[in-house]
Structure 1
Amino acid sequence: MLSYYLRLAVGSLRRNKTVTALMIAAIGLGIGACMTMLTVLHVMSADPIPGSSAMLFHPQVEPRDAESAGKDAEPPDQLAWSDAMNLLREGRPGQQAAMSAGRVVLHAPGGERSASFVDTRFTTPGFFSLFDVPFLDGHGWSDDDEEKRARVVVLGQHLAERLFGNAKEAVGRSVRLGDADFRVIGVIRRWQPVPLFYDIGRGAYAQTEDIFMPLHTAVDLHIRNAGSVICWGDNATLDRDSMATSNECVWLQLWVRLDTPAQVEAYRHFLVNYSREQKALGRFTLAPNVRLRNVTEWLEYNRVVPGGVQLQALLAVGFLLVCMVNTVALMLVKFTRRSAELSVRRAMGARKLDVFMQLLVEAAIVGVSGGAIGLALAHAGLWIVRQQPSDYASFARMDVPMLLSSVALAVAASLAAAVFPAWRTCRLPPALAIKIQ
């Protein structure tokens, strides 16, 4: 029966080429505009670490005095060195990591003239297991390496290929960073969480770093960080070389894995007790003010999806609805003109449902055709988005789920647009329709 409906639908569409083209164009334009913005919104609001986002938490404590904190109800987004080290030492071994962004001068094998700044992540050993970072070769450093200030690094695949030709040949080689030589112990595969949840300060849609270095080694060598730094108090300093000893500057991010609600609650109590201890020691002056957000909550708190993008997505959906209204009008005209033909079929024994399904199949063909045009327009729209200077622009690409969603949305839109015209056409009594004609 379906093949019979398809033959009837194709024949009908061919007989009314102008109306058919207008319907397909209306659906295609609506789908193209809608899927362009929905894809951008999908990329910007995606889960950056599926399967773990509900178990990775970002602790915050309030180290400032009343004057420095002002009316801000939220504690700083980052931690001072002493707080980060205390929480690492007393927290959950093997399931946490402290980190900061940095930039180092990389002297490529070509010599001094080929030196360049490279984005670097100063972090503790738990970073790689905590975030399920995929290794192409080698491994990360150990707790012992961290304590001994070992001069080892992990490279990103792109940088390893640039330096050594073959990324798998990088492990065991030496690279010069600043004034020191470092041994490469691992190479990670291309890895890009979107958004870059673990350090929003770098930019929610920034590229991952090319070099990963032990945090204590970076501090010991006085390699300056390039991340966000906030200081307060009369003795506060923005001298980045002294931040490791300052209690009045926050510049480190800390992430911890908590697998169960009980662990989350226990860690929250741990943060409160830690704040009370620091207040008793005279470091903190305010009552405990802590936050513990998982990845999803952290991204929502930082509003990583700009309101302008959400508004554009709503406008694109509105444009699709306008196109659907136009398609309803075109289908109503087209189906009404065929009332005599459909009435003859009814008179020969076809049920209302049979005619209704025939018209819906015809609409589905329009939807598939419009979806194909919409996909082409959406890809063109995403290419235009990628030319924009926005930090998220390079990620505006349609993945397989969004590709399938485009076709499904086009078919659904055309079927929805056809329901009223098809229902109205089927209600017309066959004898009256033939007499009118």
Structure 2
Amino acid sequence: MFAYYLELALRSLKRSPGLTALMVLAIGFGVAASMTSWSVFRAVSGDPIPWKSSKLFVPQIDMWGPNGRSPDGEPPNAMDYTDAVALMRDHRAKRQSAMYQISPSIVPTDASKHPLNVSGHAVYGEFFPMLDVPFQYGRGWSSSDDANRAQVVVISSKLNQKLFGGVDSVGRIVNVEGRDYRVVGVLDHWNPQPRFYDVVNSGGFSTTDADVFLPFQTAIQADITNDGNTNCNAVPDEPGFVGLQHSPCAWIAFMAELDDAAAVTAYRAYLDGYAKDQQSAGRFRWAPNNRLRDVPAWLENQHVVPSDTKVSLLVALGLLLVCLVNTVGLLLAKFLRRSSEIGVRRALGAPRAAIYTQFLVEAGIVGAAGGVLGLLLTGAGVASVGWVLPRDIASLARIDVSLLVLTLLVAVVATMLAGLYPTYRASRVQPAWQLKSN
């Protein structure tokens, strides 16, 4: 029977090609707008490490007091050097790492080549297992390397390709800012978006891979300066990088791994105890005002998902709704225009269920055609989002199998839902009235 209804639907659509094209265009444009916006929103609002995000926490310590807090009472979103080092020394988490952004120069061994300016981070060795960072060759460094300020480095596969042709370079030497560092690991491709571990500097998104990771205290000793954001509530007493380390300026990101609720409770108590100790020592003159958020809560607190993408998604969904309302009107006009045909079929014994099926199949065909058009327009839309959104965000929008399937599914389901009322009205046609009028 389905083949019969399919044939009837195709004949009906061919009889009014202009109306059919109008409905297909409405569905195609509405679906394409919503799916393009959804692809961007999905990319920027996704969980960057879903298997572990509930165990990774960002602590915040209020080292500025009431005068330095945001209007909602939030402490700084980064730490100063004193607090970051103290938390690393006390080490109350399963794994943890302080980190800051660096942009050193790499001097190739080939004297004919120019130095490379790269970006990266100074971190502790626990950074890599804590964030499940993938390695192509080797591994990260050990805790003893951190303590001994070892001259070691982890590089990205991209930098490894430039310097060593992509071969296993573990044990090779890389010159960073005039000092030799031994390569202990080469990362596999790793650039999570949002960049959850360094929201303070990246804003959550960055198309630039981190090419170099150095031990935190090794980088401090080598005077590799901070290249990220620095927020101060007062001018440092001393100049330069050393003055920054001795100041209460916030410039160091921090992340801790806590396995369960008990560990989270204990770590919160530790942060409050630490702040009270600082208060007793005279460094803080206010009550503890700390925060401890897991990755999803941290990303939400930092407003990582741009408001532009939320507004665009709502506008696109509104456009889809308008297109569906228009489709309802067009289908209603098309179906009721065939009232005499429906009356004859009902007089010959066709049940209402048959009328429902016939017209829903017709609506489904319109939806499928609109979905195919929507796929083409979605592809064009995804390729063009860079015109209206920042490049770092626009580059995250991608077409994949799930988006293609969802586009078709939304088009067909939405059109069939739009066809419910016109189909209901068509099925209520009274055969006697139609036969009498004819």
Could you state the TM-score of these two structures normalised by the residue count of structure 2?
0.93
Greater mean alpha carbon deviation, residues 11-20 or residues 67-76: 67-76
Partner of 1:317 in structure 2? 317
Partner of 1:197 in structure 2? 196
Partner of 1:169 in structure 2? 168
Greater mean alpha carbon deviation, residues 24-33 or residues 4-13: 4-13
Partner of 1:18 in structure 2? 18
SS of the residue corresponding to residue 74 of structure 1 reads coil
Q: Does structure 2 retain, via aligned residues, the 8 Å contact 1:94–1:126?
A: no
Instruction: Output aligned runs, 1:4-403, within 5 Å.
Output: 4-69=4-69, 73-92=73-92, 94-111=94-111, 113-166=113-166, 168-203=167-202, 204-206=204-206, 207-233=208-234, 235-237=236-238, 239-244=240-245, 246-387=246-387, 389-403=390-404
Pairwise CA distance, 1:71: 6.1
Change (3 A) 1:159 1:297: same
Greater mean alpha carbon deviation, residues 414-423 or residues 202-211: 202-211
Number of residue equivalences: 435
Q: Aligned partners of 2:132, 2:436: CA distance in 1, in Å?
A: 73
Q: Does structure 1 retain, via aligned residues, the 8 Å contact 2:77–2:200?
A: no
Change (3 A) 1:422 1:170: same
Greater mean alpha carbon deviation, residues 37-46 or residues 103-112: 103-112
- Equivalent AA in structure 1 for residue 362 of structure 2: E
Q: Does structure 1 retain, via aligned residues, the 8 Å contact 2:93–2:267?
A: no
Q: Aligned partners of 2:386, 2:396: CA distance in 1, in Å?
A: 8
SS of the residue corresponding to residue 350 of structure 1 reads coil
Q: Does structure 2 retain, via aligned residues, the 8 Å contact 1:62–1:76?
A: yes
Partner of 1:432 in structure 2? 433
Q: Aligned partners of 2:243, 2:399: CA distance in 1, in Å?
A: 46
Cα deviation 1:98-128 (Å, max 9, x = unaligned): 1111100012344364212100111001111
Pairwise CA distance, 1:228: 1.4
Q: Does structure 2 retain, via aligned residues, the 8 Å contact 1:6–1:361?
A: yes
Identity percentage over the alignment? 40
Pairwise CA distance, 1:346: 2.5
> Runs (4+) of structure 1 moved beyond 6 Å?
none
- Equivalent AA in structure 2 for residue 148 of structure 1: N
SS of the residue corresponding to residue 53 of structure 2 reads coil
Q: Does structure 2 retain, via aligned residues, the 8 Å contact 1:236–1:249?
A: no
Q: Does structure 1 retain, via aligned residues, the 8 Å contact 2:268–2:292?
A: yes
Cα deviation 1:220-267 (Å, max 9, x = unaligned): 1000111111233465456224433x1422211111122222221221
SS of the residue corresponding to residue 373 of structure 2 reads helix
Q: Aligned partners of 1:41, 1:6: CA distance in 2, in Å?
A: 37
Pairwise CA distance, 1:67: 4.6
Pairwise CA distance, 1:412: 1.9
Change (3 A) 1:305 1:436: farther
Q: Does structure 2 retain, via aligned residues, the 8 Å contact 1:149–1:214?
A: yes
SS of the residue corresponding to residue 344 of structure 1 reads helix
Unaligned 5+ runs, structure 1:
none
Change (3 A) 1:71 1:380: closer
Pairwise CA distance, 1:271: 0.6
- Equivalent AA in structure 1 for residue 192 of structure 2: P
Change (3 A) 1:12 1:285: same
Unaligned 5+ runs, structure 2:
none
Q: Aligned partners of 2:364, 2:322: CA distance in 1, in Å?
A: 19
Greater mean alpha carbon deviation, residues 382-391 or residues 269-278: 382-391
Q: Aligned partners of 2:67, 2:19: CA distance in 1, in Å?
A: 70
Q: Aligned partners of 1:240, 1:10: CA distance in 2, in Å?
A: 74
Q: Aligned partners of 1:330, 1:344: CA distance in 2, in Å?
A: 23
Change (3 A) 1:88 1:338: same
- Equivalent AA in structure 2 for residue 171 of structure 1: V
SS of the residue corresponding to residue 210 of structure 2 reads coil
Greater mean alpha carbon deviation, residues 98-107 or residues 250-259: 250-259
Q: Does structure 1 retain, via aligned residues, the 8 Å contact 2:92–2:267?
A: no
Could you state the TM-score of these two structures normalised by the residue count of structure 1?
0.94
Q: Does structure 2 retain, via aligned residues, the 8 Å contact 1:231–1:238?
A: no
Q: Does structure 2 retain, via aligned residues, the 8 Å contact 1:386–1:395?
A: no
Q: Does structure 1 retain, via aligned residues, the 8 Å contact 2:107–2:178?
A: no
Q: Aligned partners of 2:250, 2:133: CA distance in 1, in Å?
A: 26
